[in-house]
Amino acid sequence: MLFEKISEIYFSPSSTTKEITNKIASNFEGTYEIYDLLNYEKDKEPRRFGDDELVVVGMPVFAGRIPKIAREKLQRFKSDGTPTIAFVNIGNADVGDALLELTDLLKDNGFNVIGAAIFVSQHSIFTNVAKGRPDEKDLEKIKEFADKCGENLDSTADIEVPGNKPYKEYKVVPFKAGCDEMLCTFCYDCVPACPQGAIPDDDPVVTDVDKCDGCSACIYICPEDARSFVNEGFDEAAAAFAEKFSQRKEPEFFF
């Protein structure tokens, strides 16, 4: 089916949620628009979508919720019944209330959610968990999900997804990104990449830990691997997390 526009909306600090969004959207024909919420201005004019469009929304899961800053930005998008595909991306850990939160927000803003899913990618903080995912098996499941959504475009069913209300309380990620001054080449790529404005534009070696939410965007964009999580106890926490979430989780679909 050909759409007037296919809009991809995602928040993707480590690029895996972006990758999945792109894969799903590529199964449909139309003119593509990209809304990268990582650096989308919160006070930008709201976008309203029509029923001749298709929207694909992808969000990572931070401690059982969609990222707070991403929620604030997504809240500004409105719809008049636009068919919408929604998914959350977990690092092989617990999905918590994130998918319910995402679908609730979209429905409240007028979107018609025709399919929802939970996908798995390499954990953005503890990268020894689900390493290398999405892998070939995941990509096959993404294609399968997109195909099923294509068959479900006219559905107006109220999709039930896992989660509870009230949603989990937001948790502050205890790990903050730091910079190795010996490796930094002062390319400044990390400055605009930070959605919280925690890296000053006159000194990228510095991180305002009070603003940093541990999203990892600056770490993944750094061409010199100069940025990393530097907190004391990080290695011990990574080992404990890997032990708890070592068993492979598979994608889940909801229609």
List the pLDDT tens digit at each of the 255 positions of the chain: 679 899 999 999 999 999 999 999 999 999 999 999 998 886 677 789 998 999 999 999 999 999 999 999 999 999 999 999 999 999 999 999 999 999 999 999 999 999 999 999 999 999 999 999 999 999 999 999 999 999 999 999 999 999 999 999 999 888 999 999 999 999 999 999 999 999 999 999 999 999 999 999 999 999 999 999 988 899 999 999 999 999 999 999 999
If one counts every other C-beta atom within 10 angstroms of the C-beta of residue 119, the result is: 27
Please state, in angstroms and rounded to a whole number, the distance separating the CA atoms of residues 208 and 178.
9
Same structural domain, 73 and 121: yes
Domain-located, residue 235: no
Same structural domain, 6 and 132: yes
Planar angle of CA 87, 101, 160, nearest 5 degrees: 70
Give the SS3 label for residue 219: helix
Domain-located, residue 193: yes
Domain that holds residue 221: 177-230
Same structural domain, 163 and 184: no
Same structural domain, 81 and 207: no
Domain-located, residue 20: yes
Same structural domain, 157 and 192: no
Please state whether 223 falls in left (phi above 0), alpha (psi between -120 and 50) or beta: alpha
| Nearest partner of 254 among 180, 148, 161, judged by Cα | 161
Domain-located, residue 206: yes
Same structural domain, 163 and 182: no
- The pLDDT score that the predictor gives to residue 43 is 67
Same structural domain, 222 and 103: no
DSSP assignment letter at 146 = H
Please state, in angstroms and rounded to a whole number, the distance separating the CA atoms of residues 15 and 135.
14
R_g of the chain computed on alpha carbons: 18
Same structural domain, 19 and 125: yes
Structural domain count of the chain: 2
Same structural domain, 12 and 44: yes
Same structural domain, 70 and 120: yes
Domain-located, residue 23: yes
Planar angle of CA 232, 234, 239, nearest 5 degrees: 140
What is the per-residue DSSP string for 52-116? TEEEEEEEE-BTTB--HHHHHHHTT-EESS-EEEEEEEESSS--TTHHHHHHHHHHHTT-EEEEE
Same structural domain, 57 and 120: yes
Please state, in angstroms and rounded to a whole number, the distance separating the CA atoms of residues 36 and 195.
11
The structure's pTM equals 0.94
Domain at 200, CATH number = 3.30.70.20
Domain at 57, CATH number = 3.40.50.360
